């Protein structure tokens, strides 16, 4: 029987055997904390060696593709950006996009694609602003020095010790209504010089106690109503609303800007101090520097970026002629600096069918001015057409002692001035101004009048029964009966001229 003399293949020791054979540490039974720490250190070293040995071997195709995926994505993204497939955001956060007012959409897109030129224009306007602001500060300092020089000259007459005194706050209920107040005042002679010997003298002065109101103003709140009231479109949000923590304001701005095309006031900071004179000077200097711009909207847009909380791009294009009337010399014609704005004679062909002003029958009325993409105040017209009933002579069917039929016919005739045909039909067709109803307080019946403007075709008695509550808990409500409602309606109606009706009527209703 033969004996196998071949030695067995050496086996690779496992992790536990290597830990036992290593001389890197000595076990001390009396110190288990040190033993655990050294074992942990050695285990980390062995695991790192195994990881290095695995990385030296050839990786599998699946692992290779997974590791190379992020560089491929990054390379593809760079290629897309170079080719123009991905949209690049060229406006800063809080600044709305440029609007094509005087130029075409193609010119606007071409101008926005040249981001370095846009930034150079913005930097140039900021340099203009620094020069104008320096001039403004010098003028203000000179004016203040001229007006308050005599104050500065009399500064040495005050006693340094008295100039450091501060007024203490009076405790609550310490000063009564009929009490007196003594005022310590430096005594002066007839010439106005202070008496150095007797520095102070008590003077009794009359006073009035002012009651302190609420420290915090009342909060504006909204309540649901049955009838919607037409108001002016709000193109700019007055403030950034507060949302829960953890939400980025930039994401909310992108959502709100779709509803408010002129952005949010206060979301971005102005570049510096601003007033109407500074806006005029910067606009004029920018227009003089850009005599023949490829896209005029760039000028107004970059000035808006300097002061995003002053005027929008649309408002800047409208306000410059008005600013010239206030600050410019008499010989300056704003149309020379803004040749892209159409003149009155150039608008004849464009507005041959739709006159801008039906009062003076002009095509570009100077009273109304230039309108650049501004929506109408009321899309359905500025007036409600209402029907006001007249009292029939033999009608004695009164609902109460405060029925509207008790109103004297002579009073109604003086206010409404009905025609003979309207008297025969016992109803008068009149109009109510919507702008007047918006400015009217709610307790005076603004909502009731607006509802009647939309539902004047129903009988007045039914309207009053549905909308007038004589037992309303609101003490400020002045409309308590159908007679109050009738007198309210006849006080608001009017009969405007035909030209005024055409002026405020939408083109589709003409």
**Spatial CA neighbour of 276 closest among 313, 317, 308, 322:** 322
> How remote is the C-alpha of 215 from its chain's centroid?
26
Task: State the pTM of this model.
Answer: 0.41
pLDDT, position 154: 59
Mean pLDDT of 294-317: 88
pLDDT, position 58: 45
Rounded Cα distance, 302 and 119, in Å: 9
Residue 90 has pLDDT above 80, yes or no: no
Helix axes 297-306, 276-289, angle to 10 degrees: 140
CA distances from 293 to 108, 111, 297, 305, 339 (A): 12, 11, 9, 18, 11
CA distances from 503 to 230, 368, 378, 450, 497 (A): 18, 11, 12, 21, 10
Question: What count of Cα atoms within 13 Å lies in the side-chain half-sphere of residue 163?
Answer: 6
Cβ pair 496, 383 in contact under 8 A: yes
The rounded percent of the chain whose pLDDT value lies above 70 is 55
Cβ pair 416, 428 in contact under 8 A: yes
The 10s digit of each residue's pLDDT in 41-77 is 776 676 666 655 555 544 444 444 444 445 555 555 5
245-260: b (≥16 Cβ within 10 Å) or e: eeeeeeeebeebbeeb
pLDDT, position 17: 53
How would residue 39 be classed by pLDDT, with cut points 50, 70 and 90?
low
Cβ pair 419, 361 in contact under 8 A: no
> Average per-residue pLDDT in the chain?
71
The 10s digit of each residue's pLDDT in 152-189 is 665 555 545 444 555 555 555 555 555 555 555 666 66
Which residue carries 């209920």 as its tokens? 173
Rounded Cα distance, 249 and 149, in Å: 49
How would residue 144 be classed by pLDDT, with cut points 50, 70 and 90?
confident
Mean pLDDT of 232-249: 73
The 10s digit of each residue's pLDDT in 316-356 is 888 888 899 889 888 888 888 888 887 655 554 444 445 44
pLDDT, position 95: 78
Rounded Cα distance, 257 and 26, in Å: 71
Measured in residues, the chain has a length of: 510
Cβ pair 95, 268 in contact under 8 A: yes
Mean pLDDT of 301-311: 90
Residue 358 has pLDDT above 50, yes or no: no
Q: How far from each other are the two terminal CA atoms of the chain, in whole angstroms?
A: 123
**Spatial CA neighbour of 127 closest among 306, 294, 1:** 306
pLDDT, position 53: 54
pLDDT, position 280: 93
Rounded Cα distance, 433 and 453, in Å: 10
Mean pLDDT of 130-150: 87
pLDDT, position 47: 65
The rounded percent of the chain whose pLDDT value lies above 90 is 7
Take residue 64 and report the two structure tokens written for it: 């290779």
């Amino acid at each position: 029987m033969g004996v196998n003399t071949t030695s067995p293949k050496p086996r690779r020791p496992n992790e536990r055997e290597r830990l036992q054979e290593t001389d890197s540490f000595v076990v001390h039974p009396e110190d288990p904390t040190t033993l655990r720490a050294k074992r942990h250190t050695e285990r980390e070293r062995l695991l790192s060696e195994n990881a290095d040995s695995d990385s030296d071997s050839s990786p599998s195709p699946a692992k290779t593709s997974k590791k190379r995926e992020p560089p491929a994505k990054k390379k593809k993204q760079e290629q897309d950006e170079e080719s123009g497939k991905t949209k690049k955001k060229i406006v800063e956060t809080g600044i709305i996009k440029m609007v094509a007012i005087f130029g075409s959409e193609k010119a606007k897109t071409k101008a926005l694609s040249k981001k370095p030129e846009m930034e150079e224009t913005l930097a140039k306007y900021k340099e203009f602003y620094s020069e104008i602001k320096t001039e403004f500060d010098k003028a203000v300092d000179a004016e203040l020095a001229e007006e308050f020089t005599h104050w500065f000259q009399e500064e040495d007459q005050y006693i340094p010790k008295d100039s450091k005194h501060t007024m203490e706050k009076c405790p609550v209920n310490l000063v009564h209504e009929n009490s007196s107040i003594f005022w310590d005042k430096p005594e002066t002679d007839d010439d106005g010089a202070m008496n150095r010997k007797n520095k102070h003298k008590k003077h009794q002065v009359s006073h009035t106690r002012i009651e302190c109101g609420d420290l915090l103003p009342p909060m504006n709140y909204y309540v649901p109503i049955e009838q919607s009231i037409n108001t002016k479109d709000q193109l700019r949000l007055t403030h950034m609303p507060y949302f829960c923590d953890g939400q980025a304001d930039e994401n909310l701005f992108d959502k709100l800007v779709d509803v408010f095309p002129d952005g949010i006031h206060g979301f971005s900071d102005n570049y510096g101090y601003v007033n109407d004179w500074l806006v005029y000077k910067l606009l004029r200097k920018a227009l003089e520097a850009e005599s023949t711009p490829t896209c005029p909207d760039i000028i107004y847009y970059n000035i808006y970026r300097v002061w995003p909380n002053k005027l929008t791009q649309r408002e800047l294009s409208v306000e410059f002629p008005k600013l010239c009337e206030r600050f410019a010399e008499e010989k300056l014609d704003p149309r020379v600096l803004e040749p892209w704005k159409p003149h009155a004679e150039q608008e004849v062909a464009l507005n041959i069918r739709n006159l801008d002003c039906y009062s003076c029958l002009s095509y570009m009325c100077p009273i109304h001015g230039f309108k650049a993409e501004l929506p109408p105040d009321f899309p359905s017209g500025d007036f409600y057409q209402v029907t006001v009933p007249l009292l029939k002579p033999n009608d004695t069917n009164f609902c109460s002692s405060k029925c509207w039929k008790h109103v004297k016919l002579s009073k109604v005739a003086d206010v409404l001035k009905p025609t003979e045909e309207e008297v025969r039909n016992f109803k008068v067709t009149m109009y109510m101004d919507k702008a007047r109803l918006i400015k009217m307080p709610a307790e005076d019946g603004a909502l009731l009048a607006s509802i009647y403007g939309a539902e004047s075709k129903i009988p007045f008695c039914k309207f009053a029964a549905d909308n007038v509550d004589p037992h309303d808990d609101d003490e400020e409500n002045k409309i308590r009966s159908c007679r109050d409602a009738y007198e309210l309606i006849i006080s608001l109606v009017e009969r405007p001229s035909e030209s005024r009706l055409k002026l405020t009527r939408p083109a589709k209703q003409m």
